[in-house]
Amino acid sequence: MPPLINTPVYFGNFLVTPQVFHLTTHSFALVNIKPLLPGHVLVSPRRAAKRLSDLNHAEVTDLFLTVQQVGRMVERFYGASSLNIAIQDGPAAGQSVPHLHTHIIPRQSADLDGQGGSDAIYGMLEGEEGDVGKHLLERSSRRPKFPTVDDSTRKPRGEEEMAEEAHMLTREMVQQQLHDTASQSAL
């Protein structure tokens, strides 16, 4: 499946163009290689800024408006009742790719009861299963393709699967934008 955009998009050093489902002036949204829960996506600035404090005013505004818009879409599309929105701002905070990114994770009541409750998501983000950089490196040609997976329930996804999800979510973003426009007009 061809990428939705013609311009290469990088997340740190990783080319992620086929994973991108939404692009704005200063930000992009992409599907996650190894989502913690269904619908777990990332929103990142187009410029490879490492930290939130590295962004200028226009980039911060665009990033958070994009997080809000993508969040509404994934919550609706995945039938969630809430969202986790998280930024690991720097290596000591668990950031695994030196490119600022916001995790958006759709949540449902009791979705992690078998893993310690709703707050278990924070340990998942900080642990090996949330290490986006590691999973991207494993996919790259610099390392062997996907060694043994660290758990039996979450498997890294292939390029084609992520591209298909990106296409599906692109269509959903168009629907969300139409809905948002209609809601704004009603005010």
Q: What is the DSSP string of the chain?
A: ---S-SS--EETTEE-GGGEEEE-SSEEEEE-SS-SSTT-EEEEESS--SSGGGS-HHHHHHHHHHHHHHHHHHHHHTT-SEEEEEE--SGGGT--SSS--EEEEEE-TTTTGGGTSTTHHHHHHHSGGG-HHHHHHHHSTTS-S--S-SSSS--PPPHHHHHHHHHHHHHHHHHHHHHHHHHHHH-
- What is the torsional sign of CA 136, 39, 124, 83? positive
Query: Is position 40 annotated as part of the catalytic site?
Result: no
Question: Residue 55: left if φ>0, alpha if ψ -120 to 50, beta else—which one?
Answer: beta
Catalytic residue, from 22, 40, 99, 101: name it: 101
Catalytic annotation, residues = 101
